Amino acid sequence: MILVTGGTGLIGSHLLYHLAKSGKPVKAIYRTKKSLDKVTKVFGYYSDTPASLFDKITWFKADITDVSSMEAAFEDVDQVYHCAALISFDPRHLDQLIQTNTDATANLVNLCVANGVKKMCYVSSIAAIGPSVGGKMANEENEWNDAQVSVYGLTKHDAELEVWRGSQEGLQVVVVNPGVILGPGFWRSGSGSFFTYANKGKKRFVPGGTGFVSVNDVVNSMTQLMDSDIAGERFILVGANLGYGDIFGKIAARFGVDAPKKQVPFWVLEFFWRWDWLRSKLRRKRRRLTKNMTKGLYQREIYDNSKIKNALSFTFESLDDTLDFCCEKFKSDSL
């Protein structure tokens, strides 16, 4: 039996589709009934009968920050995919990030150990890898520096430490560190907002760049790792390293709108993060740009994906094909 946390998110919903389609018995955690609609919608991108696949999943209403609500879901579970996380780069949300990303992961590791789970896959992030330095590709052995990362990256890194602690207690683990994940749905949050922004024909783009990967590559690598003998390892999942201007240009071309051609000047970004900080203090608004985020835009982050390629003979799908599919679904959802 397989248990998936974060089953109503981008990765989790695609993972559940893959597992349900393969016929594997699977349980999933959800918090609200409304969030389940997102799963059915994602299934509908790939299947004409999404309800039949959805009904194969045993759903548990629980909160990953509440151990007692999670205990029943672990009965007869052999594998756990921990996909749930809170994504925020606002320093004011540090306590919530610690609770959801770090403390909840510690709780799940404890439950895995206590219930004799055979293997756990933890979905971390390239934010927990740290930036590439001196134009060199960052890899799984990248030197960690707390001072150069976001609060989100900090809590994901600390969550990884909890996973490694579990490995010392006898739990087999694998960790994946995806880049920016591209997949259909969730158009108003995370990477989905890239499509919403580009579709508006905006004129400006931010400098810098990072690693991108398709959601299907993330799911396929996770399931292959869990079905293998590999344990005690982490893997960067990046299909291509692209500038933000490049990715917005590719999406805009598929929507038939003008691509953003003007890079936001660094002096504007330096002014904006200060103004944004003051705005958050005076009006209690969520931060949209922090000092660390701004500093991160000064260089284009590049990541080495050779480890996962060599370990699984893994081939990443073309991001152009991924963008074609995502833009097609965005258009159909917008009708």
Supply the pLDDT for residue 273.
66
Distance CA 6, CA 124 (A): 13
Neighbours of 219 (CB within 10 A): 23
- Residue 147 counted as domain residue: yes
- Read off the tokens for 220: 């396929």
Residues in a beta bridge with 178: 237
Q: How confident is the model at residue 335 (pLDDT cuts 50, 70, 90)?
A: low
Supply the pLDDT for residue 304.
95
What mean pLDDT value characterizes the chain? 89
Q: Among the listed ranges 109-118, 144-153, 160-169, 278-287, which one has the minimum average pLDDT value?
A: 278-287
- Residue 37 counted as domain residue: yes
Residue 49 is part of which domain span?
2-182+211-238+300-314
CA neighbours closer than 13 Å in the CB half-sphere of residue 27? 18
- Residue 249 counted as domain residue: no
| Residue 256 exposed, middle or buried by CB count within 10 Å (0-12, 13-18, 19+) | exposed
Q: What is the pTM of this model?
A: 0.92
- Residue 272 counted as domain residue: no
Neighbours of 280 (CB within 10 A): 17
Q: What is the pLDDT of residues 76-90, one digit of tens each?
A: 999 999 999 988 888
- Residue 270 counted as domain residue: no
As for how many domains the chain has, the answer is: 1
Give, as one character, the DSSP assignment of residue 77. -
Cα 63 versus chain centre, distance = 19
- Which of 156-170, 251-265, 280-294 tops mean pLDDT? 156-170
Supply the pLDDT for residue 124.
95
Supply the pLDDT for residue 112.
94
- Residue 256 counted as domain residue: no
Question: Can you point out the beta strands (E) in 117-220?
Answer: 119-123, 172-178, 180-182, 204-205, 209-214
CATH number of the domain bearing residue 61: 3.40.50.720
With contact defined as beta carbons under 8 Å apart, do 176 and 307 qualify?
no
Distance CA 21, CA 53 (A): 7
In single-letter form, the type of residue at position 253 comes to A
| Residue 81 exposed, middle or buried by CB count within 10 Å (0-12, 13-18, 19+) | buried
Distances, alpha carbon 152 to alpha carbons 19, 61, 232, in Å? 28, 25, 23
Which residue from 122, 219, 222, 236 is spatially nearest to 178, judged by alpha carbons?
236
Q: What is the pLDDT of residues 272-301, one digit of tens each?
A: 768 877 777 777 777 777 777 777 777 788
pLDDT over 80 (residue 43): yes
Q: Among the listed ranges 37-46, 98-107, 280-289, 301-310, which one has the minimum average pLDDT value?
A: 280-289
Distance CA 180, CA 206 (A): 15
- Residue 223 counted as domain residue: yes
